[in-house]
Every structure is written in structure tokens, then in C-alpha cells.
Copies of this chain bind each other. A is one copy, B any other.
Amino acid sequence: MAKLNENFLNLKKNYLFIEIGKRVKNYAEQNPDKPLIRMGIGDVTQPLAPIVVEAMKKACDEMAVKETFRGYEDSGAGYEFLRKAISEYYKSFGVDVSADIIRISDGAKSDCGNIVDIFGHGNTVLITDPAYPVYVDTNIMNGNKVIFADSNEENGFAAMPDENVKADLIYLCSPNNPTGSVYTKEQLEKWVAYALKNKAIIIYDTAYEAFISDPSIPRSIYAIDGAKKCAIEIASLSKKAGFTGVRCGYTVVPEELMVYAEDGSAHSVAQLWGRRQGSKFNGVSYPVQRGAEAVFTEEGLKQTNQAIEYYMENAKIMRETFDKLGIKYTGGHNSPYIWFKAPNNMDSWELFDYLIENIQVVGTPGAGFGKNGDGWFRLTAFGSKENTIEAMKRLEKLFS
């Protein structure tokens, strides 16, 4: 008799965005005359950069001709042309990440979920709360023990390590989804020191790195001394270059990074990850890898930065509204997210329904990201400028 992985029964019934989708669909069906402004799910809306599209099309043409056709990629780690381009990109902000410690993937969500495979169930997994639900759900699926570090109003939604808590795996995300907060160099140094002391591994999610404009904020965990001995970095082109529908990301696993067996022996995380990917993954589409390569050219960065500037202009419009209303928020600087405190003591889901009902704006209830998210709410800057202006006008009127 086929038996299920009973850990799945411990998952919350509905994935956050599925629940939102249902409520939005209900409202839209009952109110076809009231179009919704969607500032909820963090999807981009600006098209791909022309240089990316051209690179992908050229690669498609190569696939049409026997002499230039490409089948399986030998290494499975991603083509060297792309891994080198990413390594150069790291160099551009002063971080040394060599091409051979980068593995290309079909996105940060896949790597975030799949990396869990290589760690044993004996680990205590520390996740900041609130957090991207994938960290918690994938660890629950695997039967791991999850504990939380509070990100809250008091610490500016930037949880810090507690010497009295022993964690073996630590998920950090900066700029943070959902709170838009960013870790400073000094804060990350404390996390690295904690990890090194505890032989813990930090899984560092840099999906929103491209939104950092302040040069003092680290764009990579490897900007911190010692991080190569204690951190994996997972990155994405989804928000950086509008790849949410193209699918490409990468994960950095330094050679120095070790994980331990029960007998105390040290094992290379990079080798384990390579073995996992070698058996359960067959590389990323060649045209997609060529498109990704184009992102990291000088012209590619220039073109993709235009979209980022467009979104950050939206973030500014949102910040100004919340400033004017005197509503507390984090994010909106170095981040496409605005995370604000629900007015009038509403809880997150109450505010969600209230905003749809009254001003037809869809956001994301903070409670969906963890207990510290309740009473808070996430809006994204990924919409159009027109919609952002309109939504803020309505919001201002509603809460004035």
C-alpha cells in the first residue's frame, strides 16, 4: 500500500497566494464593473529588456541548425558563459564569487525548496518571522524542526541572532520579502559570527538585491568576511530582470562550506548539492541561459535597471502617501515592497477585505507571512505608475 509523506499533513491548508486568488476571484465575479488594482503578488509588469529578447531569439535560431544545436549541458551546473558573467557581476560590486561555485537553476524558489534535500532531519531550522512562506513549507514537508526569530516593529523588522538559541540552518532574506527591510553590513556580520560559532549554515536569499541603491548595504552575504565558510546564497533574475515567466536563478555554494555527519566527519556542501542536482535536475533551457547572460552585459544592466528605476519611482509615490498619512511602514528604500501597519487596529485579513471592498486595491495580508505579520500589510511597487498613483489617491482619501 502506497504511503504518503505524513509531513504534508502538517502544512497549513492553503498557500497564501491561493487564498488571495480565491478572494480576488470572488470579488471580481460579483463586481465585474469595479476593476481591481493588484498590488499583491510580487509579479513584475515591465517587459523584458530588448537585449535579452534578442539573445534568446538568437539562441532559438542556433537550436534550429544541426551545427549549433545544443542538447544536454554536460555539467548540469549551467553554461560557463553565464556563470562567468555572474562572477563578473559580483566583481562589479566588490565581491569575489568565482564561476565554478555558481550553479544555474530555473529559479530561486526551486533552489530554496530543493536545497532542503541535502540536510538531515536532525537540524534546527531558524526562520525569521515574517518570511517568504516557501522557507517554512519546504522544511515542514521534509519533517524538519522549525523555530522562528522575531522580526517586528521594535527591531525594524530585521531579526537578529539570539546567543541563547541554537540553530543549525538559518534563512535570511535581504532586502526582505515581505517587509522591505534591509540588513546593514554590521547586522550581517553578527549573523555570520553567530553561524561560524555554531557551525550553522545561512541560506541567504538575495532575490531583491538589484533594488539596493545605497552603496553601504551589502548586495551579497559574501561581502561579509567569513561568509564563505557559513553561507549559501540563492539569487534570482525574476525581479532583477523581469524573469518571473522566463525562469532563471542561481545558487552559490562556496568550496569551503561544510556540513557534518553524525560521526563528526565534514562533508562538502557543494558536492552534496551537485549530487542532488545531478540526479534530480537537468539544467536550464539554453535560450534562457543566453537571455540571462545578456542581462549581465553592460548594456543589459543598463536596460534592466530602467525597469528597476520605474518600480522604485512607484515605491517613492507610495512612501510619500504613507508619510503624509503618518502610517508606519518599512521598505520602499532599496526594496520594491512597502510593509505598513494596518490602520485602526485592523488585522491583516480584515484590511485585505476592507481595501478590496472600499478602494478595489489588492495587497497581501502580513499574517500570511507569519505571526509577526499580523496587523501589517504588504504592497508592491511592481504595478504601473498610473495604477500606483490611483491606488495611493484612493488610499489617502480612505484613511485621511
Contact = CB atoms under 8 A, between A and B. Distances in A.
Interface in A266-300: 267, 272, 275-276, 278-288
A111 to B, nearest CB: 9
A194 to B, nearest CB: 13
B110 A281 contact: yes
Given A56-B287, A72-B41, A245-B63, A261 B141 contact: no
Contacts of A70: 245
B247 A3 contact: no
A120 B5 contact: yes
Contacts of A5: 117-121, 272
Contacts of A324: none
Taken together, the copies of this chain in the complex come to 2
Interface centre among A11, A120, A169, A280 (most CB of B within 10 A): A280
A44 interface: yes
Interface string A128-154: 000001100110010000000000000
Interface residues of A, number: 84
A173 to B, nearest CB: 16
A16 to B, nearest CB: 10
15 contacts: A4-B267, A5-B117, A8-B267, A9-B261, A45-B66, A47-B64, A47-B65, A48-B60, A53-B63, A56-B56, A56-B60, A70-B245, A106-B285, A113-B281, A134-B280
Q: Which 7 A-B pairs have the closest CB atoms?
A: A113-B280, A71-B244, A43-B71, A1-B199, A53-B64, A2-B201, A47-B69
Interface of A: 1-6, 8-9, 11, 15, 18, 21, 41, 43-48, 50, 53, 56-57, 60-61, 63-66, 69-74, 106-107, 109-110, 112-114, 117-123, 133-134, 137-138, 141, 168-169, 198-201, 242, 244-247, 259-262, 267, 272, 275-276, 278-288
Given A69-B242, A106-B281, 5 more contacts: A1-B199, A43-B72, A73-B245, A106-B282, A141-B276
